[in-house]
Amino acid sequence: MLNQRFLMFCIEFVAAASLFGQRQTIPLFQDNFGALGTRLNPAAWTTEVGCTSFLGRTQLADWVTPGGVGQFVVAADGAHLALNTFNPTGFSLYGTHGKTLQSFEPGFNTPVVFTARLQLTSLQPGLVYGVYFYSIPFPCSNQTQHDEIDIELVTNLLQPGNPPAVQLNSFANEPLGAGNGVVVNLPSGFNPLAPHDWSINWSLSHLDYLVDGVLLYSTTTHVPQGPMQADVIAWGPAQDWPTAYGASLQPVNNAALNQSFVALLTSVSVSTSRVVQPSGAGIFRAGLWVFDANNNFLWDGAPPDLVFLLGQPGDVSVVGDWNGDGHLKAGIFRNGLWILDYNGNGRWDGPSVDRAFNLGQAGDTPVVGDWNSDGRKKAGVFRNGLWVLDFNGNGQWDGPLVDRVISLGQAGDIPIAGDWNGSGFDKVGVFRAGLWVLDYNGNGLWDGPGADRLFGLGQRGDTPIVGDWNGSGSTKAGVFTAGGFWAIDYNGNGQWDGPSIDRAVSLGQAGDVPLVGDWNGSGFAKIGVFRCGLWVLDFDGNWLFDGPTSDKVFSLGQCGDSPVVGAW
């Protein structure tokens, strides 16, 4: 029973692991500026106010404070990223800025791509239009360490008669200032007044800057590692940035003399991507592991399939990508002892190559997740509402300042884990007789249902399951009943919206073990059941069993085995 329960806790991690296969794009943010008015959508955007709204001789318009005079106009031709020479609140240039409420950060093998479609309408010298990521922990202080990735359209670099160029920059926990900027030429034939797609491709190890899909510059230095918001800006630098300063661009103190220089912003998107590969079948039996390694849903003998020993009777099977190479590997949990086939070669090579360590005690439930977004699955245990996580994945307990101790749940709860908000790392949660309690923001605290999630799906006796049912990049809830009925929160909004929006499926019968995996490698999770060695899978993911021609029915294992799922 414990093996079956544990499968439900960690099966999502198996299905969602980064694997070598096709790359799937997952949208994180999109705005095409279809709602006309004098400000951006306040549910998605905000701006700098107070001390952070001043950049040299430019003040940014406050378009978020009710009753204010600032605007960020959205018209039929797009959002107006404007620099005005008249400031109704003081004597300075008057810029426009927007930043997403949502923050973004890459994970292991999951880069973040920020694209803004922008059209300049003037090449007036002294203007800068920026498309950038930004985060500063202590604004308005002398602690100016911050993260930033910039594309800066400097009109001085776009003047006729010279090859058009753009300035690119990045800061990785570095002080404000000139940074690490480079000026690069734009592609031959580039028209500065035409619409262009400007993109930043940000991974943990490198940065790519592109225009219209053409690579402008790539670097592996000064690469930020923390979360940042996506920003757009129009402003006019002072003389301390001589490359961008324009003496002919000066503020005026009369609204009648105002000049407005506009760039038309017609779309902003932020996305990530992940590599997906079909999930295969496997079983664990008292220390024996059997994998359908070539994922053909047949037992072909070893090789090409795999048979090996790791563990003993009474052990709990665990699976995860322990070393971050993109493949799932075996492991066992035994009364607090973890033994992991770290290199995935199907044998025990000793603790210097593989891993053996202690975390937990008898009676604990093992849990597995990528707690810190580095692409490796790591150990954890759940004990009557207490979570103990090997946050850094070094196979030892380093105390709560380095690792994590979380209180969420109570005795009798079933622990669950997943990337509830799609931010790139796994978070904890519990299921209690139909009640789901999720640490949605992943801060290791219960912040109430506004910041975290509390909802009902299922009832006492149901088995919780989790998966990315619609391929959006976030983990969502579901339950499997003793009678073979599945209720799936397909859109992940934490409520049951009926079978036309969510999913109600009949697959299986009493005594079956529910399974979740991406059987055909399409990028979203699908269901199946294991029954005494018989596997029945909704292979095509249409939430129906269409028979063995479209779906899959095959044998691997026997009664009492624990099924495991992954791309081995």
Residues 100, 122, single domain; the answer is yes
CATH of the domain at 68: 2.60.120.200
CA distance 558 to 531: 8
Indicate if the alpha-carbon torsion angle 536, 539, 542, 548 is positive or negative: negative
Residue 415 preceded by cis peptide, ω within 30? no
CA distance 213 to 196: 10
Residues 148, 62, single domain; the answer is yes
- The token duo for 108 is 């292991």
Pick from 214, 242, 273: which residue ends a domain?
Answer: 273
Tally of domains within the chain: 2
Which of 473, 518, 543, 510 lies closest to 29 in space, CA to CA? 473
| Calculated CA dihedral for residues 101, 400, 406, 111, nearest 10 degrees | 40
**Strand bridging mode 93-104 / 58-60:** parallel
**Strand bridging mode 476-480 / 435-438:** unpaired
> What's the half-sphere exposure (Cβ side, CA atoms, 13 Å) at 383?
13
DSSP 278-296: --EEEEEETTEEEE-TT-S
Classified as helix, coil or strand, 164 is coil
pLDDT of residue 415: 98
DSSP state of 252: B
For residue 203, what are the contacts with CB-CB under 8 A and spacing of at least 6?
106, 111, 112, 223
CB 153 within 8 A of CB 166: yes
| Calculated CA dihedral for residues 248, 250, 254, 258, nearest 10 degrees | 60
User: How wide is the angle at C-alpha 372 spanned by C-alphas 369 and 378, nearest 5°?
Assistant: 35
Amino acid at 286: A
Indicate if the alpha-carbon torsion angle 14, 17, 21, 22 is positive or negative: positive
Which of 107, 161, 435, 128 lies closest to 273 in space, CA to CA? 107
Residues 39, 80, single domain; the answer is yes
User: What is the radius of gyration, based on Cα positions, of the chain?
Assistant: 27
Residues 377, 523, single domain; the answer is yes
Residues 90, 9, single domain; the answer is no
- The token duo for 519 is 């059987």
Residues 133, 206, single domain; the answer is yes
DSSP 489-546: -TT-SSS---TTTSEEEE---TTPEEEEE-TTSSSS-EEEEEETTEEEE-TT-SSS--
Q: pLDDT digit of tens for each residue in the chain (568 aa)?
A: 334 333 333 333 333 333 345 677 888 899 999 999 999 999 999 999 999 999 989 999 999 999 889 999 999 999 999 999 999 999 999 999 999 999 999 987 789 999 999 999 999 999 999 999 999 999 998 889 999 999 999 999 999 999 999 999 999 999 999 999 999 999 999 999 999 999 999 999 999 999 999 999 999 999 999 999 999 999 999 999 999 999 999 999 999 999 999 999 999 999 988 777 789 999 999 999 999 998 899 999 989 999 999 999 999 999 999 998 878 999 999 999 999 999 999 999 999 999 999 999 999 999 999 998 888 999 999 999 999 999 999 999 999 999 999 999 999 999 999 999 988 899 999 999 999 999 999 999 999 998 999 999 999 999 999 999 998 889 999 999 989 999 999 999 999 999 999 999 999 999 999 999 999 988 899 999 999 999 999 999 999 999 998 999 999 999 999 999 987 7
Pick from 244, 273, 302: which residue ends a domain?
Answer: 273
Which of 134, 117, 216, 129 lies closest to 170 in space, CA to CA? 134
CB 367 within 8 A of CB 417: yes
Residues 281, 254, single domain; the answer is no
| H or E element in which residue 210 lies | strand 207-211
Pick from 273, 301, 322: which residue ends a domain?
Answer: 273
Classified as helix, coil or strand, 307 is strand
Residues 202, 296, single domain; the answer is no
pLDDT of residue 12: 35
CA distance 223 to 566: 32
**Strand bridging mode 485-488 / 476-480:** antiparallel
CA distance 330 to 121: 59
Amino acid at 271: S
Residues 290, 262, single domain; the answer is no
Residues 434, 306, single domain; the answer is yes
CB 366 within 8 A of CB 316: yes
DSSP state of 4: H
CA distance 185 to 64: 36
Residue 350 structural domain: 2-21+277-566
CA distance 124 to 154: 10
φ, ψ of residue 434 to 5 degrees: the values are 100, -10
Residues 318, 439, single domain; the answer is yes
φ, ψ of residue 448 to 5 degrees: the values are 90, 165
Classified as helix, coil or strand, 255 is helix
CATH of the domain at 446: 2.130.10
Classified as helix, coil or strand, 347 is coil
Residues 262, 336, single domain; the answer is no
Whose tokens are 């549910």? That residue is 43
Which of 112, 324, 141 lies closest to 229 in space, CA to CA? 112
Residue 449 preceded by cis peptide, ω within 30? no
pLDDT of residue 184: 98
